[in-house]
Chains A and B, each alone.
Chain A
Amino acid sequence: MPRGKQDRYSSRVGEKLFPVSKPVTLTIDGKTVSAKPGSTIWDAAREAGIDIPVLCHSPRLDPVGVCRMCVVDIGGRVLAASCVRPCEEGMNVVTKSEKVERHRSMLTELLMSDQPETCPKESTTGDSELAALARAYNVDGSRLPRGAARSSDTSSKVIAVNHQACILCDRCVRGCDDIQHNDVIGRTGKGYTTQIGFDLNQPMGQSSCVSCGECLAVCPTGALVNKPISLPIVPRKSLKQVDSVCPYCGVGCSLTYNVDESKNRIVYTDGRPSPVNHSRLCVKGRYGWDYAQHEQRLTHPLIRKSEYYPRGPLSPEVTSSRGGEHRKGSHLVRYEDVLPAFRQASWDEALDLVATRLKGIRDTFGPGSLAGFGSAKCSNEEAYVFQKLVRAVFGTNNVDHCTRLCHASSVAALLEGIGSGAVTNTFAGIEDADVALLIGTNTTANHPVAATFFKQAAARGTKLIVIDPRRPDVANYAHQYVRLRNSTDVAFYNAMLHVIIAENLVNEAYIKEYTSGFDALKAEVQKWSPEVAEPICGVPAETIREVARIYGKAKSAITFWGMGISQHTHGTDNARCLIALCLVTGNCGRPGTGLHPLRGQNNVQGASDAGLIPMMYPDYQRVTNPEVRARFEKAWGVPLDPNAGLTVTEITKGALEGRIKGMYCLGENPFLSDPNVNKVRKALSALDFLVVQDIFLTETAEFADVILPATSYLEKLGTYTNTDRRVQIGRPALKPPGEARLDWEIVSEISTRMGYPMKYQSPAEIFNELVSMTHEYRGLTYEVLGSTGRLWPAPDPAADDGLQILFDDGFPTPNRRGKMVPAAFEPPRETPDENYPFVLNTGRVLEHWHTGTMTRRSYALNAIAPEALIEVHPEDAMKLGVHNGDRVVVTSRRGSITLAVTVTTRTHEGSVFIPFHFREAAANVLTIDEIDPFGKIPEFKFCAVRVERAPESSAAAAE
């Protein structure tokens, strides 16, 4: 790809070569200014309140000094570009002489002479920096003859490119390369014919662009602008700015919605400065907000009509045991299939019905016959009131949420090992690390903005070791990528531990002071020489040694992992190995070290913190601990269930077996998100009563007795805790549609109607109650959280932030020691055989989210990634006789789906990959509902399938 830019290391090398340790004193426009060491004239002037116009520079970027708008007079023969020129002692700088101004005006005129008649930025957001300069210098470029017209490119779904308006300032190139590290944009051509180019000068929409929008966020002209999504784009000042947090992944980026209040529409989004994302966003955050405005939003409570009993699914996609029926519009639940089965009801009627039925089941079959599914999409406050409802009113601990499906095993291992399920360091903490292990994480797709920090660290010298059977894009930035066989993690990590111990790369002092269980670990890994592991995990023994040495010798090493570790029947064992690696080398509690399971949903951390877990009250306090229970009984004023409740997968099983009779689903869509859909279908049909509270008709809602219209993230106030443990406030940008109500109000209403009055006035009141029941949230209030939130724990309210790095001196375990737990290798439950020869791996894609209810109703995200694709290795594709775009039938012992093929070496031979967001080809029709014994997490990452050409495509090929 064209790398149209300065050599990036040069500027940093420059800093190192000319270290200026002392502040320098210089004169700027007659003012004596003391500048920080190494600062440029432009920086120093800005500090002193003197504005120097810039075009190619922005404080978010390294300067390149190409536009020359910022020139100043420093008494030399030539003018100096202040954005790149370091301050020197005694310098006398004039920022606005006649000569300088003449120069700037000439430059503006040269640039203006080629601008399009209507500037795409002036006619939208109205903030072209070039146009502002043209007004200031009163030039329009008409004195000079125009050049030949340059083209425009509208191939991207979200960004419009107008080369005529481009001034080749290089900001987009640096935004793409140096901020987001996507390396898509460069310059092509030469001289006056130079243009910005995408990849090898492809149309933007066909390039490797990931639509993060960083380029247009930094572009000072109309060359790169947002395409309108909901309404025509207008200047910010005519819209209302709502500072909030992105509703998608666990990164929790700070952003600002620009809202047209009169039309109740978000018009566009900007990244917001914060320690989380430094104003960066990904495609979901920047463009994926219009789902809330979708016409299919639920606006009234719905009650199932009597003629639609016995209850069962309503649409063919949900009814059929074969997914992949292809009908027009079947990427969404078709309302015409489902709505006829329901009638509109008043809130009173619906809530009364829910309360009566749930109460009836409780009183007839006992509290244990009820269960609640909460959601990691909901706020801390919603999670708190929901678990309180289940525990205090239903009288059971059968409350769980989708954490079970993502990191339950990681949390189980972490609680067992270091006494805390949360991350010990933030993802930005990678910047201090020598080495970072990235394991089972497709970070660029699933935590895209965290990935920018990883890629940046790599660019600055952190060695990334990427370990994953399916090659994630972040491997492109890795020092070493290790492809191991699916589901052989324990063998690989035991071998790594073997080498680290055998070669004495352990931190003995740390082991002695802060850990327990080393001998048992040593005894287990003794058996795992790299030569033993090699035939199992498929990684050459030498590579295992090399990786172990890199990790073992690192001064600081940090470990990140994703669901590639956790979603296995031995997920807890996998995580135990990573904890052991960290403990034997003492990589915890210091900058650049730590354990960080990257959390999936925006509020997985918070929902767990708030107690949406069957064995724990808020703050991981065990329900089985009588002291703890007594505290909660006192606070809530009712006796509580002394036994741990059932998990998501166990609840499904319970329903199937008739033990669970009534269920309350708040914002979860287990039909698509849980393994073995066909089993879930039966379970949902078997219930006596199901109430679903959601913003759309989900697949799960097809089974409901009552459907309650909820508010979307974008319509409510609440706090959310990101993967870093940062508690942030999400603020309402829109008014809810129709009669949709706030989730915590609905829960409170049901509670009150079931005889346990909840009279909360605001989310802040709930938050305060939650905080009062926890240890770790102490000191947090809405005021303290402010605009960029706070990390928990935050012991010092006067400090700027909570603690970034935990456990610098022991762990919150009874003996203050971290426990190493040896893990024995076990093969996955269902291995390939003759009939089902392929390993199926499942996961996500950048543009979509969970079961797609939001993202597939977002115009941009759906347009960019409209279809489910199965990844097949070229060798396998050849054997199967399939090509890109051909449709195949994928069958497991549990069901089968039909979808199109993409041939790629990302997946390895014998393994296929399917993202799980797509209802018309639901991966979870195929997956196995075997679970990890500790974390109770299903094995989403491994089952055996068969792949065959779909009949119509073999017919087409025969023609």
Chain B
Amino acid sequence: MLQRTSYLTKRYGDSDGHTLAVYERDGGYQQAKRALQMDRAALIDEMKAANIRGRGGAGFPMGVKWSFMPWPPKPEKPHYLVINADEGEPGTFKDRTIMEKNPHSIVEGCIIGCFGIGAHAAYIYVRDELHLAKARLWEAIAEAKKKGYLGDKPFGIDYPVEVYVHTGAGAYICGEETSLLNSLEGKRGEPRLKPPFPAQAGAFGMPSTVNNLETIAIVPTALAMGGDNFSKLSAIHNLKDGGARLFGVSGHVNKPGIYECAVGLTLRELIYDLGGGVKGGELLAVIPGGSSCPILRAEEIVKAPDPKSPLHPYDGKSVLDVPLGVDTFRSLGTMLGTCCAIVLSDLADPVLAFHNLLQFYRHESCGQCTPCREGSAWLFRILDRIVQGEAEVAELDRLSEIASNIMGNTICAFGEGTAMPTLGFLLKFRRELEEFIVTKGKSGTRRLAL
């Protein structure tokens, strides 16, 4: 169900929208001030009721994550809030828009978040090449500090909060939360073994919460509306997937971009109503939420006869008509991920898209786990042989063998993020791949860009 909203994006069109004055004109910082005077438990309950599913990819309920923090905080173990603005997932560019156009919502979210988890410092980890985003964040922090919204006594209340921007050097793996923590500490950005989870030993070994940037930015809105009201914006509120969020669409569409809508939007609405339809040719397939999510073909039909399945209401319908939600898309065998879809037209060659994707993963593995490091290299190498016309059909089985060996066999989810789309492409485009191999590429369109 298409329902445009403008909680985060209201000021996107305003050239001064990023300033404190404009933000405050719209009621900015009222929620932070209120939160600092709330009971912590009540704040967490609001957040739980809001059903904000993590916007970073895994879709974990944010309120629940906050409640995992040890309580009360011990003086020798300060808590930290860490905001993940590394945004490296191909096809994903939503967080960047918030930093550039609505940075105060982030700062305000951080104040509320710090209070919620018992922290007095928040680190925003931003990839270095986002120069405007960094500048806007620094500006916003300086403005808020000057006004006394940050510092020793925000709004005159005795709960010190500082917000820092930390710049990463632009490695996709540094978006993985424990890798991000290592990088934040000045170490090599490599994921840590879990447990311990960040809530037990996160930044600098201290209890920490890692939230995606959009997750924290929506917090003031949810608090202003009240958790329940916010949650109910969503058409799949019953699946505990609440509120509104940013939807992205890119690839072969006429109007790529970021659109804020209530949760419950379908792929069809995203591609055709918001994205302006497929650019050139017909819709071949769509990667629903960033490159790690297995691809869906346009003609797929939902099979969910089991009434207990979250997909049951859509049984027999096109996958394009399923609301974009964490649980609905997981049930489809793919993921909602970052909620930024990549659209592929039938003028493009899925084999080349596959090749392109694997090149990325080979390059971005941190190199720690053998199955991921060696596996991602082998997957790409075999795909390269296919594209060069050197491979045999039997090598497709080797692809699936290697990918299956990565699944569940690595320290972080990057391994699965490589294996799942690989298995997805193999499943959905087996015929195209075989033909490509047999004809040494003559069967394909041999183009990726239109």
Contacts and interface: CB of A to CB of B under 8 A. Distances in A.
Q: Do these two chains interact?
A: yes
Interface of A: 2-7, 9-11, 13-14, 17-18, 55-56, 64-69, 71, 77-79, 81, 84, 103, 106-107, 110-111, 113-114, 143-145, 147, 167-170, 186-187, 189-194
Contact of B173 (A10, A13, A189, A190): A190
Given A103-B409, A147-B377, A194 B195 contact: no
Contact of A107 (B188, B190, B362, B370): B370
Contact of A17 (B171, B181, B200, B367): B200
A169 B405 CA distance: 18
A190 B370 contact: no
A189 B205 contact: no
Contacts of B364: 190-191
A788 B358 CA distance: 54
Interface string B341-366: 00000000000000000000111111
A134 to B, nearest CB: 14
Contacts of A170: 368
A10 B205 contact: yes
A3 B370 contact: no
Contacts of A84: 193
A187 B371 CA distance: 17
Contacts of A143: 398
B402 A110 contact: yes
B220 interface: no
A853 B297 CA distance: 78
Contacts of B411: 65-66
B201 A17 contact: yes
Nearest to A143: B398
A191 B378 contact: no
A6 B190 contact: yes
A114 B205 CA distance: 37
B187 A194 contact: no
Given A3-B182, A187-B367, 8 more contacts: A7-B185, A66-B368, A68-B409, A79-B408, A103-B405, A110-B370, A191-B367, A192-B377
A71 B193 contact: no
Contact of A64 (B187, B193, B200, B402): B193
Given A17-B196, A78-B407, A84-B193, A145 B201 contact: no
Interface string B302-314: 0000000000000
Interface residues of B, number: 44
A168 B373 contact: yes
B165 interface: no
B381 interface: yes
Contact of A192 (B362, B385, B407): B362
B392 to A, nearest CB: 12
B19 interface: no
Given A13-B201, A14-B196, A190 B407 contact: no
A64 B192 CA distance: 9
Nearest to B365: A191
B290 interface: no
Contacts of B367: 168, 187, 189-194
A3 B187 contact: yes
B369 interface: yes
A64 B377 CA distance: 22
Given A66-B370, A167-B370, A110 B196 contact: no
A107 B405 contact: yes
A107 B371 contact: yes
A200 to B, nearest CB: 12
Nearest to A67: B370
B251 interface: no
Contacts of A69: 370
A194 B373 contact: yes
A155 to B, nearest CB: 23
B430 to A, nearest CB: 21
A68 B370 CA distance: 7
Q: Which are the 6 A-B pairs with shortest beta-carbon distances?
A: A78-B408, A194-B367, A192-B377, A191-B365, A13-B201, A110-B374
Contacts of B192: 6-7, 10
B401 interface: yes
B375 interface: yes
A108 B213 CA distance: 40
Contacts of A6: 190, 192-193
24 contacts: A2-B188, A3-B182, A3-B188, A4-B190, A7-B181, A14-B195, A17-B195, A18-B195, A67-B369, A68-B370, A68-B409, A78-B407, A79-B408, A81-B409, A106-B405, A107-B374, A107-B405, A110-B375, A145-B385, A187-B190, A189-B367, A190-B367, A191-B377, A192-B365
B373 A191 contact: yes
A194 B188 CA distance: 12
B167 interface: no
A357 to B, nearest CB: 68
Given A3-B188, A147-B377, A191 B362 contact: yes
B193 A10 contact: yes
B376 interface: yes
B410 interface: yes
Interface string B178-221: 00011001011010110110001100010000000000000000
Interface centre among B201, B374, B401 (most CB of A within 10 A): B374
A65 B195 CA distance: 12
A10 B190 CA distance: 13
